[in-house]
Amino acid sequence: MSLSVDAKPYFNIKSNVTTNILNKDILWKIEDDLDIDEKISILFLMTTDYEHGFKEIYDLLQKHKECKVYILTEFINKYSENWKNKLVEAICVIQNKQILRKLGISFEYINVLYLPKYRLCSRYLNLTAKCLYILCEALTIDRIKLLLQYVRADLTKYDENLKDTDYLELHMLYWMQENYISICLDGKVKLKNLLKHLKRFDDLELIYEDLETNEKHQNYETRFGTAADCMKLSETFKGIGFTIKEYNDLKKDEILRMLENIPKEFGIDYDCIFVCILSHGCKGGIISADAEEVSIDEIEYKFCSAELENVIKIVIIQACQGEVIGQVNDALTTDGSTNYNSSDISIYRNFCIFMSTMQGFVSVRHKKDGSWFIQEFCSILQTEEERVTFLQVVRKTMKSLLKKKGKLNGIQSIGQLSELLKYRLLTDFLLPKYQTHT
C-alpha cells in the first residue's frame, strides 16, 4: 500500500518550454491577442511585490485607457526576471488556449506541467495569488458586488477611483495596499479578513479551504519531484507482488482515519502491509495537506490495531525531521521548514518505521528526479538478483545514501543518513523477487 499526502504529481517532462519560443517581439503579438481583462489577470499573477502592486497596475490600466500602450510589455521590461516562464504559466492559468496554440505549445502538455486549475500547486507564480485569481473567476458579477460591499463596510476609506472598476484582482491589490489582506515578500500570507466573508457563500467551500490552507501552509513549497517517487514506489511494489492504493493531499483527520480503517477497507488477510508517506515534515512527524502536524506516535497508534496484530506493518516516511543540513546541485530541495496508552501492548508488535533521515535533520529531494531515499530504496528492490530480506534492503539503502553527495542552497557536500525507528519486528522477512511488468 502506498500513502501519499502531498501535492498533485509533477510529471517528468521538460519545464523549460519557453527558452526558444518567447522574445520581446513575440510579446507584442501576444499582447495584441489579449483583452484588457486578461492583461489585468496576468499582471496580477505575475506581480512579485503585492504590497505595492496596486498603484503600479492601476497606473498601467490608466495608460491603456488613454493611449493603448502595451502595458504587459512595459511591466515585463521593468520586471524581467524569469518573465518567460511566469508569462506562459499565467497564460495557462487564465486558460487562453489560442495563444498557447499560436506559440506551438500543446495545451495538454502545458496543462500537465502547470496544473492551472489546481489551487495548491504553482511553479513560477505566487501560489496564493493563483488561488485568489481562481476565486475571482468563480464569482458571478452579483457575488463580486456583494463581496465588495462586505469589504467596503470593513474599511473606513476606499479609493474613489475604484468605484466603477469591475476588475476584482485590482480591488484585491488595493486591499493588500491597505493591509486588509496581504501576500508579503517573505512568503507570509494574511487572508482572515477575506475568509470571513467567503464563509457567507454556500458553494465556495473548496476555494475557502484552499485559501485557508495557503495561509497555514505558507512555509512549505510545492513538493516537485513527488511524482517521480510515487511512480517508482508503485512500479517497485507492483513488481514484488503488492496491491497498490495511492492517496493524495490528505488532511490530518483523513490520514488518521485512513490508517485506522485499513482492516475495514482492505481486510486483514496479509503477510505484510507497507504504508509509504511522502510529505513535508517536522521533528517527530509529518505535515498534512491542511498544514497540520501529524506525529509519528499518532501514525503508529492508528496503524497498530488489534486486527493487524499478526501482520507485519512497515511505514516508510520521506520527510524532513528538522532543519539541520547533514554535510557530506542547485536542483536539490528539502521536505521541511499525543501520547497514547493501550492496555494490550501486543497490538504494537510486528511494526517498524523506516525514516528517510535522522531526527532533527533535513531530507533531500531532487525537484525532478525525486528523493534520494525513495529512489535508492526502490532501486535496490528492483536490481537485486536474489530475494532479499527487509533488513538487508534497509542496510543497503543506508549505505547507498551515505555515498551520495550534493549541493543545497550553496552548501557543498550535502549528505543524508536514514534510520530505523520503533523497530519491533519479531523476525526479519524475505521480500519477493522483483518482476518487470509490461
Query: Distance from CA of residue 420 to its chain's centroid?
Result: 26
Tell me, what amino acid is at 210? D
CA distance 57 to 79: 13
- Residue 8 is classified by DSSP as P
Burial 308-344 (b: 16+ CB within 10 A, else e): bbebbbbbbbbbbbbeebbeeeeebbbbbbeeeeeee
Domains of the chain: which residue ranges? 3-217, 226-325+342-431
| pTM for this model (two decimals) | 0.54
CB-based contact 415:361 (threshold 8 Å): no
Q: Which of 57-71, 279-293, 328-342 has the lowest mean pLDDT?
A: 328-342
State the pLDDT confidence band at 7, using cuts at 50, 70 and 90.
very low
Q: Whole-angstrom distance between the N-terminal and C-terminal Cα of the chain?
A: 20
The closest of 184, 191, 169, 180 to 58, measured between CA atoms, is 169
Distance CA 357, CA 320 (A): 7
Residue 272 has, within 13 A of its CA and on its CB side, a CA count of 19
Domain 226-325+342-431 fold is Rossmann fold (3.40.50)
Sequence-distant (6+) residues with CB within 8 A of 309 are 346, 347, 349, 350
The mean pLDDT value for 4-9 works out to: 30
Task: Look at the chain and count its residues.
Answer: 438
Q: What's the pLDDT score for residue 365?
A: 63
Tens-place pLDDT, residues 345-401: 778 888 999 988 766 555 656 666 778 888 889 999 999 888 999 999 999 998 888
For the residues of 249-303, what is the DSSP string, one character each? S--HHHHHHHHHTHHHHH-S--SEEEEEEE--EETTEEE-TTS-EEEHHHHHHHH
The beta-carbon contacts of 236-241 under 8 Å, at least 24 apart in sequence, are 236/378, 236/381, 236/382, 236/434, 237/2, 237/274, 238/437, 239/381, 239/382, 239/434, 239/435, 239/436, 239/437, 240/381, 240/431, 240/432, 240/433, 240/434, 240/435, 241/432, 241/435
Instruction: Provide the pLDDT for residue 438.
Output: 57
Residue 8 has pLDDT above 70, yes or no: no
pLDDT digits (tens, 9 = 90+) for 421-434: 888 888 899 999 99
Residues in contact with 149: Cβ distance below 8 Å, sequence separation at least 6, in sequence order: none
- In this structure, the number of other CB atoms found within 10 A of the CB of residue 371 comes to 28
Q: Which amino acid is at 148?
A: L
Q: Report pLDDT for 398.
A: 86
Tell me 156's DSSP state: S
Residues 89-147: tens digit of each pLDDT? 999 999 999 999 898 888 777 877 788 887 767 888 988 899 899 999 999 999 999 99
**What is the C-alpha separation between 234 and 211, in angstroms, rounded?**
31
For the chain, the average pLDDT equals: 81
